[in-house]
Chain A
Amino acid sequence: MRGARTILTREIVCIPFGRPSPDRTVSSSTPPWRIALSVNAPVVLRVENLRTEFGTDQGPVTSVDEVSFSLAAGETLCLVGESGSGKSVTALSIMGLLADNGRVVSGSVVFEDEDLVRLPENRLREIRGNSIAMIFQEPMTSLNPVLTIGDQLAESMILHLGLTKAQARQRVIELLDKVGIPRAPEVVDDYPHRLSGGMRQRAMIAMALSCEPKLIIADEPTTALDVTIQAQILKLMRDLSAETGTAMIFITHDLGVVAEMADRVAVMYAGQVVEQADVYTLFDEPKHPYTIALLRSIPHLSTDERLASISGSVPSLLYMPTGCRFHERCPQAMDRCVGERPELLPIAGDHDVRCWLYDEAAQPQSSGAAVPA
């Protein structure tokens, strides 16, 4: 019974049967240029061979390895994967907000001709909240409980845009109004505990938008919300990103959300990107066995089949398998997968896969993403 209810709520609210609906991008609020995107839009962010390690009692642990992707202006890239696949660490690495024991060991994060990995902290601070903003998973705890909403939203505008307190306050009210918070002139003086989770997440979105960033990184912004609120927030973010042309990295483990939001999708597994494609290709023609398994594990209302699951569990970062990191759980694993590490290689156009099954089809010369095993 429990399974059945999950299927109901998920599908009704946000999953159009597990794939992006064809009319999704032509909603009235979406400008036409957005549909033909990423063909000639300038690249905003290029992440190459990112490798992030954390110091632990058992020695350094690599949490994110060989992660590469790029993002065009106005584009929404979904990073999708299970818990612990390195999605959030990738986001925090881009922002330079890793915990004290974490650091980017190699690779680059080029944002507007600057490599964020090599920038000094004070230059990074000028970028954070200004041209790159972040929205977090937990709206209940991400706002400071002892400061008013207005104070918290005004801070970055006073800091980055040099607004006066009065100007910032006026703009906070406009922003709150824009993200659909009723009674904005009163809410500006409220403390976060007066707002519901959905309203707080709207306030967080307003905060992210406040300095008109070129890139918003949203780390599971709807995971902590109930499904109706989730649908509202997704729609809000989609409309706002369409309106402002802000590029977005949207982190989620929910393929329904991916179908709603993404222009392109990067599937992460055990700290690596294993497949990358535009959202339609990924849902229609997934190539990597992990992506295929992931898509098969979405519940469907239309069939009575048992839900498919992926056997085994995500490998521990301390004991990463040799060769392909997925080989222990892969139904199509070959001898080669145990010993040799596959690279992320393009198989067709914009479609990259990290799998030995597609070794023949791959065109190794055309991507900067590959790294010798």
Chain B
Amino acid sequence: MASYLIRRLLIGIPVLLGVTVINFFIINLAPGSPADLYLSPTATPEDVARTEAELGLNQPIFVQYVRWLTQLLHGDLGVSFQNREPVAQLIGDRIGPTLLLMGTSLVVAYLIAIPIGIFAARRKNTAADYSVVGASFLGISVPHFFLGLAVIYLFALQFGWFPTGGMLTLGRGGGFVDRVEHLVLPVTVLATAIAANMVRYVRSSMIDAFGQDYIRTARAKGLGGFTITNKHALRNALIPVVTVIGVDLSALIGGAIVTEQIFQWPGIGLLTIQSIGSRDYSVLMGINLIAAIAVFAANLLTDVAYAVVDPRVAYA
């Protein structure tokens, strides 16, 4: 297991390097210069050239990339074009709220999806099952921005139960209850998509498990439905479900960008949108790197989890 992990981590280095190369060149393909945004409309071409030189944007792209990479290897993500703050500091300030939002959404989604998936599987091809499948189809199909605006309209504006956005109410000190109140709506939006997807995985893999010979063996032992479902079937059904967690995390990062924007959640997603708007390439590169590391780590974690839930899997 240890040697497997080390090998996987070593493979990760070229992968991450490749991701940064692609990101760097794609970002630089975008039309317009960041300098345009930092100068007044009356700036002369000389002013633009001077600003670009200050930001290092007048050099060939690969030189810029090598410089960025050299900085990175020295542990420096660079500074923001826009406000000269260190990128590491900017990301560091925003990562906590994002982890809170994504983590809560993931946990809530699984807590909802697994029991519902089991419920639907046990009532396969009944009205209850069809309702679950239909609802999950709806949940997968509805876009984040639409669901976000819909819940804001209903639960914040019409009913006034929850705030429309942000992470704390100013002046209330940001206690636990306040946090939770702010979390409910964005978590609803993010968790809906993940849970809707997960329900279908759990349902189909439970149905598959129920049809296996070892379930018949368990019934022949005289075991009750509860033990058969939650011990014999679920343990097996979770194996394919675990593999989806890595995929879910990538989707979650994408979803968080939109959701944070809608709810003005002060996390990485909001920072991403702001940085795109201000052509703040150095911040974007930092965010991309963090996101790539997160997805890589999630996939590694998935493989480890796979070996934990399935005794037949052993890494050497």
Chain A interface residues (CB < 8 Å from chain B):
95, 97, 124-130, 133-134, 136, 138, 141-147, 152, 155-156, 159-160, 191, 193, 204, 207
- Cross-chain contact B222 with A160 (CB below 8 angstroms): yes
Q: Report Cα–Cα, A166/B220, bound state, in Å.
A: 23
In the complex where A136-B217, A143-B217, A144-B217 touch, is A128 in contact with B222 (Cβ < 8 A)? yes
A contact residues around B218 at 8 Å (CB): 144, 155
The contact sample of 29 A-B pairs, CB cut-off 8 A, is: A97-B216, A97-B220, A125-B222, A127-B222, A128-B221, A129-B220, A129-B221, A133-B220, A136-B213, A136-B216, A136-B220, A142-B213, A142-B217, A144-B217, A144-B236, A145-B236, A145-B310, A146-B239, A146-B311, A147-B232, A155-B218, A156-B221, A156-B222, A156-B223, A159-B221, A160-B222, A193-B312, A204-B217, A207-B221
A contact residues around B223 at 8 Å (CB): 125, 129, 155-156, 159
A contact residues around B221 at 8 Å (CB): 128-129, 155-156, 159, 207
- Cross-chain contact A191 with B222 (CB below 8 angstroms): no
Q: Report Cα–Cα, A130/B222, bound state, in Å.
A: 8
Interface positions, chain B 203-242, Cβ under 8 Å from A, are: 212-214, 216-224, 227, 231-232, 235-236, 239
Considering the complex of A and B, which 9 residue pairs feature the smallest CB-CB distances, nearest first? Answer: A129-B221, A128-B222, A129-B222, A141-B213, A144-B214, A191-B311, A156-B221, A134-B220, A125-B222
Chain B interface residues (CB < 8 Å from chain A):
212-214, 216-224, 227, 231-232, 235-236, 239, 309-312
B contact residues around A152 at 8 Å (CB): 217
- Cross-chain contact B312 with A126 (CB below 8 angstroms): no
Distance (Å) between the CB of A71 and the closest chain B CB?
Answer: 18
A contact residues around B236 at 8 Å (CB): 144-146
In the complex where A146-B310, A146-B311 touch, is A138 in contact with B222 (Cβ < 8 A)? no
A contact residues around B227 at 8 Å (CB): 155
Describe B's contact surface by its main secondary structure.
Answer: helix
Q: Report Cα–Cα, A125/B222, bound state, in Å.
A: 4
Distance (Å) between the CB of B316 and the closest chain A CB?
Answer: 15
**Further pairs besides A146-B311, A159-B222: 10, Cβ < 8 Å:** A97-B220, A127-B222, A129-B223, A130-B222, A142-B213, A142-B214, A142-B216, A147-B231, A147-B235, A159-B221
Residue picked from B218, B220, B231, most chain A C-beta under 10 Å: B220
Distance (Å) between the CB of A53 and the closest chain B CB?
Answer: 19
Distance (Å) between the CB of B167 and the closest chain A CB?
Answer: 41
Distance (Å) between the CB of A164 and the closest chain B CB?
Answer: 17
- Cross-chain contact A125 with B224 (CB below 8 angstroms): yes
A contact residues around B216 at 8 Å (CB): 97, 136, 142
Q: Which chain A residue has the least Cβ–Cβ distance from B313?
A: A193
Q: Which chain B residue has the least Cβ–Cβ distance from A141?
A: B213
Q: Which chain B residue has the least Cβ–Cβ distance from A153?
A: B221
Distance (Å) between the CB of A211 and the closest chain B CB?
Answer: 9
A contact residues around B220 at 8 Å (CB): 95, 97, 128-129, 133-134, 136
Distance (Å) between the CB of A175 and the closest chain B CB?
Answer: 14
